[in-house]
Amino acid sequence: MVKVGIIMSVSKDWMGGLNYFKNILKAISLIENRKIEFVLFFGEDAEKDIIESFKNLGIIITTPLLNKTSAGGFFNTLKIRFFKKNIFAKNIFQKNNIEVVSYSGTYPKKFKFKTINWIPDFQHIHMPWMFSFMENRYRDFLFLMYARYSNAVILSSHDAQNDFIKAYPKYKEKSYVLQFVSQPNEKIYEMTDTKKTEQKYGFSGKFFYLPNQLWKHKNHMVVIRAVNLLKKEGKEILVLCTGHMEDYRNKNFKEEVLKYIKDNNLENNFKFLGLIDYDDVLTLMRHCISIVNSSLFEGWSSTVEEAKSVGKNMILSNLNVHKEQNPPNSIYFDPHNEKELAEKLWNKWQESEGGPDFELEKVARENIEARTKNFGRAYQDIVMSIVGK
């Protein structure tokens, strides 16, 4: 089999990255007559439970060269990221007969292995004000290096691929769309009621669920304004929001949002629960009326994929990528139009009592294996195409 190496620079601070790699490794493991195997490189100081969680998904190799706490590891990682000559690539990749290095930077052409890199999205082009000048320049440089020096560049959506081709038309033949599939946590189907969760977080009755961290581009304010419009009309609804409450790019955003909620007496209509236990997340997902994603920009939304995989309808901003993801039984709205959203929230509130959608769950569970295998085969096809086998 073709050996594919990945530098696993992941941690619990980047759960999206952890879940992405678990999803793709799981997908490959399900393929009949698979042609590739993964070799996963961790620093010796990587969190032990993280390493353990990958033990059945690939060959695991630990090395001090990738330690986050060592100067050697830090500078070697920089060299790996910026394709300069480095001992790690020459000694470790080639020693382990790695034919393809994936998700791990670019390298000199003289090395024998091929490279695949991933660009999740081009948010900095569409929304440059969300980043500092240096962050924008860094992304421009990094993505150009990926386009120029990778053998293949993975994009998570056709929408992102269109951005890639516009930015780097010379390298369009290197671009491949790989739409990841989230693996459902089967434990969600054990969440049969919300009584303990209601007591724990101080709410009761039906609700919508918005599981996005409080970053400005996630557009919580359009939801809050929609809730406020309904309240002024005497229509009371409840939206529960979970996730990290700080936006490092907009330091005052949290205070601005909380002030708006307080000034408009929305404390009983829009509740921030912050970071909560994962079992509680599963309970809220299963028992809400709908999962809401009001984002102004996405590459390939993990929230949407999780909803598709467990069988839950959504209320979504009408981004091209959300329509491309196409979660069943979902509706769309203009993310700049709180009046339109208010109307759709109220209609849904009146017609639904929340709780599990058993029919949608049944379809999701029946389809997840086939969807996952298709995801795995698509990645394997990319690997085999660049190694010429």
Which of the pair, 355 or 64, is modelled with greater confidence? 355
In this structure, are 106 and 163 located in the same domain? yes
| Mean pLDDT confidence for 68-83 | 49
Look up the pTM and report it. Answer: 0.89
The whole-number pLDDT of residue 126 equals 95
Is residue 362 included in any domain, yes or no? no
The whole-number pLDDT of residue 301 equals 92
CB half-sphere exposure, 138, CA atoms < 13 A: 6
pLDDT at 14 over 80: no
Q: In what order do the strands lie in the sheet with 114-119?
A: 59-63, 36-43, 2-7, 100-102, 114-119, 152-155, 175-177
User: Quick one: which of 308, 318, 315, 319 has its CA closest to 347?
Assistant: 315
| Mean pLDDT confidence for 170-196 | 96
- What rounded mean pLDDT belongs to the chain? 91
Give the tokens for residue 80. Answer: 């790996």
| Mean pLDDT confidence for 79-95 | 61
| Mean pLDDT confidence for 56-60 | 93
Give the tokens for residue 51. Answer: 């390493």
In this structure, are 69 and 216 located in the same domain? no
CB atoms within 10 A of CB 356: 17
| Mean pLDDT confidence for 146-163 | 97
pLDDT tens per residue across span 106-141: 887 778 899 999 999 999 999 999 889 999 999 999
Is residue 270 included in any domain, yes or no? yes
In this structure, are 27 and 117 located in the same domain? yes
What is the number of domains present in the chain? 2
Is residue 361 included in any domain, yes or no? no
The percentage of residues in the chain with a pLDDT greater than 70, rounded to a whole number, is 93
In this structure, are 36 and 112 located in the same domain? yes
In this structure, are 178 and 192 located in the same domain? no
229-234 long-range Cβ contacts below 8 angstroms, 24+ apart: 229/338, 229/339, 229/342, 230/342, 230/345, 230/346, 231/264, 231/265, 231/266, 231/269
Give the tokens for residue 344. Answer: 């759709």
pLDDT tens per residue across span 344-367: 999 999 999 999 999 999 999 999
Query: Can you tell me the distance from the alpha carbon of 160 to that of 177, in angstroms, rounded to the nearest whole number?
Result: 8
In this structure, are 170 and 283 located in the same domain? no
81-95, 270-284, 346-360: least confident range: 81-95
Query: Domain range holding 344?
Result: 186-356
The CATH number given to whatever domain includes residue 195 is: 3.40.50.2000
Query: Can you tell me the distance from the alpha carbon of 322 to that of 219, in angstroms, rounded to the nearest whole number?
Result: 15
Contact, 185 vs 307, CB < 8 A?
Answer: no
Dihedral class, residue 316 (left if φ above 0, else alpha if ψ from -120 to 50, else beta): beta
pLDDT at 64 over 90: no
In this structure, are 220 and 251 located in the same domain? yes
